[in-house]
Amino acid sequence: MKRVYSGIVLLIFTSFLLHLLPGGIAIAEDEIPAGMEVKKVGDLRILVPEGAKVERTDKGGLIFVESTSEYTARKLREFEERISELESSLADGLEEIKRLKETVTGLEEGSLVSKGNE
């Protein structure tokens, strides 16, 4: 019987401590491992890989962290989109440089012609 009471006391004490720590156990900035970050989901703070998406279900309060393969596929897709944007921006910049070179060449030729007429 004494064992049951000590189990109940332990359960009550543990639940009391959990109510005092609604955000979970605090993690200092210098304790976060490389490649990891702390994300807040509702009242919880969880440690997840950097950039990982975290979802919380409406029913049951389950928290899902995307798998490594989902994360990798999403990051590759984002990199491909970014590379396409950079290639487009580079092509626009090169076209602008070409146009400016033609303008400068035209101005230099016009300047030389006008100097020759003087």
For CA atoms 30, 31, 34, 37, the dihedral sign is negative
**Residue 24 · residue 45 · CB < 8 Å:** yes
Note whether residue 1 is domain-resident. no
Question: How high is the pLDDT of residue 17?
Answer: 47
Note whether residue 98 is domain-resident. yes
Note whether residue 15 is domain-resident. no
Note whether residue 38 is domain-resident. yes
> Can you tell me the distance from the alpha carbon of 64 to that of 53, in angstroms, rounded to the nearest whole number?
8
> Can you tell me the distance from the alpha carbon of 82 to that of 88, in angstroms, rounded to the nearest whole number?
10
Which regions of the chain are under pLDDT 70?
1-30, 59-61, 112-118
- Write the single-letter amino acid at 12: I
Domain count across the chain: 1
The pTM assigned to this predicted structure is 0.49
> Can you tell me the distance from the alpha carbon of 27 to that of 45, in angstroms, rounded to the nearest whole number?
9
Query: Domain limits at 67?
Result: 23-117
38: tokens are 């702390």
Question: How high is the pLDDT of residue 57?
Answer: 74
CA atoms within 13 A on the CB side of 23: 6
Note whether residue 17 is domain-resident. no
Note whether residue 100 is domain-resident. yes
Note whether residue 3 is domain-resident. no
Helix (H) or strand (E) holding 70: helix 68-117
